[in-house]
Amino acid sequence: MKGIDVMDFSIKIGNNIKIELGETKEELIYDLSCAKIRYTIPFDKTNDNNIKETILQIPSLRIEISIQNDIVNYIKSGCNEYSIIFKTEGLDKKNIAVINDLKIKIVNTFKIKSNEMFIEKINLRNFDTMVIMNSKALGKKVRLHLMSDLQGNVYINTLRYIK
């Protein structure tokens, strides 16, 4: 878990801790242990294609992490205080300006440039949103899935490498 202020694809899980796509299993477990965050590893095996697959779960935060060949490549999060990036309470969801507000929140959350993201799909009724983020600096593409809870909190549901 690198510095909080660096552009990366991660989900924050505490005031000074986050889970980052591309970080190693060893780094992740070390950082979770140092932060005294409890986790379980319900699956840790090599599949038929000789790919080592690990699932790490953090039940208290409703987070599941998929690790392939000891590298984090998928993060799934439930709605918690750290995964919320946008609140729809009081917004006119029929106003197209809401999309621009959401783009700004994504740019600020992931510290990317506005031209490094593309909204693949968006449903303004429930803010179910798919976004492709591209970092030329990192040479990676990531798919971000946002969802909304009943209180109007739009949160990071999944982050995954796609290229």
How confident is the model over 127-157, as pLDDT tens digits?
Answer: 899 999 987 766 779 999 999 888 888 999 9
Domain for residue 5, yes or no?
Answer: no
What is the CATH number for 40?
A: 3.30.1450
Same domain, 90 and 150: yes
CA–CA distance, 124 with 63 (Å, rounded to integer): 25
pLDDT digits (tens, 9 = 90+) for 71-130: 999 999 987 888 898 888 777 666 778 888 889 999 998 888 889 899 999 988 888 999
pLDDT digits (tens, 9 = 90+) for 10-62: 998 888 889 999 999 999 999 999 999 999 999 999 999 999 999 999 999 99
Same domain, 100 and 154: yes
Q: How confident is the model at residue 98, as a pLDDT?
A: 83
3-state secondary structure of 108: helix
CA–CA distance, 128 with 111 (Å, rounded to integer): 21
Phi, psi of 100 (to 5 degrees): -65, -40
Report the relative pairing of strands 71-77 and 153-161 from DSSP bridges: antiparallel
Quickly state the pLDDT bin for 5 (edges 50, 70, 90): very low
Which residue is associated with the tokens 């140092």? 34
DSSP annotation of 83 reads T
Please give the tally of structural domains in the chain. 2
Domain for residue 3, yes or no?
Answer: no
Domain for residue 157, yes or no?
Answer: yes
- Domain containing residue 68: 10-77
Q: How confident is the model at residue 35, as a pLDDT?
A: 93
Same domain, 153 and 131: yes
Domain boundary residue among 23, 58, 77? 77
Which two tokens mark 129? 């949103």
Q: Is the pTM of this model over 0.85?
A: yes
Same domain, 90 and 64: no
146 Cβ contact partners less than 8 Å away, ≥ 6 residues apart:
85, 86, 102, 127, 128, 129, 130, 131, 154, 155, 156, 157
Same domain, 57 and 106: no
